[in-house]
Amino acid sequence: MAGLFYIVRLFIYHIEANERPEQERQILHRQYVIMESRLWNIITVPAMVLTVLAGIAMLYLNPYLLKANWMLVKLGFVAGLLIYHFGCQHVMYQLKHGICRLTSLHLRLWNEVATILLVAIVFVVVLKNALDWIYGIIGLFVFIAVIMAAVKIYKYYRLKK
Protein backbone atom coordinates (compact mmCIF):
# COMPACT_ATOMS: atom_id res chain seq x y z
CA MET A 1 0.00 0.00 0.00
CA ALA A 2 2.84 2.38 0.79
CA GLY A 3 4.20 1.90 -2.72
CA LEU A 4 0.81 2.64 -4.26
CA PHE A 5 0.32 5.74 -2.13
CA TYR A 6 3.79 7.08 -2.88
CA ILE A 7 3.86 6.29 -6.61
CA VAL A 8 0.83 8.47 -7.25
CA ARG A 9 2.40 11.32 -5.24
CA LEU A 10 5.41 11.00 -7.54
CA PHE A 11 3.05 11.11 -10.52
CA ILE A 12 1.56 14.36 -9.21
CA TYR A 13 5.00 15.93 -8.78
CA HIS A 14 6.01 14.60 -12.22
CA ILE A 15 2.97 16.24 -13.86
CA GLU A 16 3.54 19.49 -11.98
CA ALA A 17 7.17 19.52 -13.14
CA ASN A 18 5.83 20.09 -16.68
CA GLU A 19 5.00 23.66 -15.62
CA ARG A 20 8.69 24.42 -15.02
CA PRO A 21 11.08 25.98 -17.54
CA GLU A 22 12.27 23.53 -20.22
CA GLN A 23 15.73 22.76 -18.84
CA GLU A 24 14.41 22.21 -15.31
CA ARG A 25 11.48 20.18 -16.69
CA GLN A 26 13.83 17.80 -18.52
CA ILE A 27 16.00 17.26 -15.45
CA LEU A 28 12.98 16.64 -13.24
CA HIS A 29 11.41 14.33 -15.83
CA ARG A 30 14.51 12.11 -15.91
CA GLN A 31 14.71 12.07 -12.11
CA TYR A 32 11.03 11.22 -11.64
CA VAL A 33 11.25 8.42 -14.21
CA ILE A 34 14.15 6.91 -12.23
CA MET A 35 12.37 7.32 -8.88
CA GLU A 36 9.09 5.88 -10.18
CA SER A 37 10.84 2.94 -11.81
CA ARG A 38 12.82 2.05 -8.70
CA LEU A 39 9.83 2.37 -6.40
CA TRP A 40 7.71 0.29 -8.74
CA ASN A 41 10.20 -2.49 -9.48
CA ILE A 42 11.91 -2.76 -6.09
CA ILE A 43 9.03 -2.20 -3.68
CA THR A 44 5.55 -2.05 -5.20
CA VAL A 45 5.51 -5.02 -7.59
CA PRO A 46 7.33 -7.45 -5.24
CA ALA A 47 4.99 -6.44 -2.40
CA MET A 48 1.95 -7.02 -4.62
CA VAL A 49 3.22 -10.45 -5.68
CA LEU A 50 3.95 -11.48 -2.08
CA THR A 51 0.56 -10.21 -0.92
CA VAL A 52 -1.31 -12.10 -3.65
CA LEU A 53 0.66 -15.28 -2.95
CA ALA A 54 -0.02 -14.98 0.79
CA GLY A 55 -3.73 -14.49 0.09
CA ILE A 56 -3.83 -17.52 -2.20
CA ALA A 57 -2.02 -19.58 0.45
CA MET A 58 -4.48 -18.41 3.12
CA LEU A 59 -7.44 -19.44 0.97
CA TYR A 60 -5.80 -22.74 0.09
CA LEU A 61 -5.22 -23.56 3.77
CA ASN A 62 -8.69 -22.28 4.80
CA PRO A 63 -11.01 -22.88 1.82
CA TYR A 64 -14.08 -22.49 4.04
CA LEU A 65 -13.37 -18.72 4.00
CA LEU A 66 -14.67 -18.62 0.42
CA LYS A 67 -18.13 -19.45 1.77
CA ALA A 68 -18.21 -16.32 3.92
CA ASN A 69 -19.96 -13.35 2.30
CA TRP A 70 -17.52 -10.87 3.84
CA MET A 71 -14.58 -12.69 2.19
CA LEU A 72 -16.22 -12.49 -1.22
CA VAL A 73 -16.78 -8.76 -0.73
CA LYS A 74 -13.18 -8.37 0.41
CA LEU A 75 -11.92 -10.27 -2.64
CA GLY A 76 -13.97 -7.92 -4.82
CA PHE A 77 -12.21 -4.93 -3.26
CA VAL A 78 -8.85 -6.70 -3.59
CA ALA A 79 -9.58 -7.26 -7.29
CA GLY A 80 -10.29 -3.52 -7.52
CA LEU A 81 -6.96 -2.84 -5.84
CA LEU A 82 -5.16 -5.05 -8.37
CA ILE A 83 -6.86 -3.17 -11.21
CA TYR A 84 -5.75 0.07 -9.53
CA HIS A 85 -2.19 -1.31 -9.29
CA PHE A 86 -2.02 -2.02 -13.02
CA GLY A 87 -3.67 1.32 -13.77
CA CYS A 88 -0.79 2.98 -11.90
CA GLN A 89 1.65 0.99 -14.01
CA HIS A 90 -0.07 2.32 -17.14
CA VAL A 91 0.16 5.92 -15.88
CA MET A 92 3.85 5.37 -15.11
CA TYR A 93 4.43 4.17 -18.68
CA GLN A 94 2.60 7.21 -20.07
CA LEU A 95 4.60 9.62 -17.92
CA LYS A 96 7.86 7.98 -18.93
CA HIS A 97 7.01 8.51 -22.60
CA GLY A 98 5.56 12.00 -22.13
CA ILE A 99 2.05 11.07 -23.27
CA CYS A 100 0.10 11.33 -20.00
CA ARG A 101 -2.86 13.69 -20.32
CA LEU A 102 -3.93 13.53 -16.67
CA THR A 103 -3.81 16.68 -14.57
CA SER A 104 -2.52 16.89 -11.03
CA LEU A 105 -6.15 17.14 -9.85
CA HIS A 106 -7.03 13.91 -11.68
CA LEU A 107 -4.06 12.23 -10.04
CA ARG A 108 -4.98 13.60 -6.61
CA LEU A 109 -8.41 12.04 -7.04
CA TRP A 110 -6.80 8.84 -8.37
CA ASN A 111 -4.62 8.77 -5.25
CA GLU A 112 -7.74 8.67 -3.07
CA VAL A 113 -8.99 5.51 -4.78
CA ALA A 114 -6.26 3.54 -2.98
CA THR A 115 -7.35 5.08 0.33
CA ILE A 116 -10.96 4.16 -0.31
CA LEU A 117 -10.06 0.58 -1.25
CA LEU A 118 -7.79 0.22 1.78
CA VAL A 119 -10.51 1.45 4.16
CA ALA A 120 -13.11 -0.78 2.48
CA ILE A 121 -10.90 -3.90 2.72
CA VAL A 122 -10.00 -3.30 6.35
CA PHE A 123 -13.55 -2.51 7.43
CA VAL A 124 -14.98 -5.56 5.68
CA VAL A 125 -12.49 -7.79 7.51
CA VAL A 126 -12.77 -6.11 10.89
CA LEU A 127 -16.53 -5.74 10.93
CA LYS A 128 -17.40 -8.92 9.00
CA ASN A 129 -21.05 -9.48 9.85
CA ALA A 130 -21.21 -6.98 12.71
CA LEU A 131 -22.95 -4.35 10.61
CA ASP A 132 -25.73 -4.56 8.14
CA TRP A 133 -24.31 -4.30 4.59
CA ILE A 134 -26.58 -1.39 3.80
CA TYR A 135 -25.04 0.68 6.61
CA GLY A 136 -21.58 -0.39 5.46
CA ILE A 137 -22.24 0.75 1.89
CA ILE A 138 -23.76 4.03 3.10
CA GLY A 139 -20.72 4.57 5.33
CA LEU A 140 -18.37 3.88 2.41
CA PHE A 141 -20.16 6.43 0.23
CA VAL A 142 -20.03 9.01 3.03
CA PHE A 143 -16.30 8.33 3.37
CA ILE A 144 -15.86 8.76 -0.41
CA ALA A 145 -17.78 12.07 -0.28
CA VAL A 146 -15.58 13.33 2.57
CA ILE A 147 -12.39 12.37 0.70
CA MET A 148 -13.55 14.06 -2.51
CA ALA A 149 -14.58 17.20 -0.61
CA ALA A 150 -11.15 17.29 1.05
CA VAL A 151 -9.46 17.12 -2.37
CA LYS A 152 -11.62 19.98 -3.67
CA ILE A 153 -10.96 22.09 -0.57
CA TYR A 154 -7.22 21.46 -0.91
CA LYS A 155 -7.37 22.53 -4.56
CA TYR A 156 -9.22 25.70 -3.61
CA TYR A 157 -6.64 26.68 -0.99
CA ARG A 158 -3.75 25.69 -3.23
CA LEU A 159 -5.00 27.91 -6.07
CA LYS A 160 -5.72 30.72 -3.62
CA LYS A 161 -2.00 30.91 -2.73
Q: Which helix (H) or strand (E) holds 40?
A: none
pLDDT of residue 131: 60
pLDDT of 138 > 80? The answer is no
Binning pLDDT at 50, 70 and 90, where does residue 96 land? very high
130 band by pLDDT with thresholds 50, 70 and 90: low
Q: How high is the mean pLDDT of the chain? A: 89
Question: CA 48, 144, 68 angle in degrees (round to 5)?
Answer: 55
The whole-number average pLDDT for the span 107-114 is 90
Query: Does the pLDDT of residue 160 top 80, yes or no?
Result: no
In this prediction, residues 38-63 reach a mean pLDDT of: 96
Give CA–CA dist 131/26, Å, rounded. 52
Q: What percent of the chain has pLDDT over 90?
A: 61
**pLDDT over 70 at 134, yes or no:** no
Cβ atoms of 39 and 3 closer than 8 Å:
yes
Count the neighbouring beta carbons within 10 Å of the beta carbon of residue 126.
9
Q: Which of these, 95, 111, 105, lies nearest to 31 by C-alpha position?
A: 95
Per-residue confidence at 51, pLDDT binned at 50, 70, 90? Answer: very high
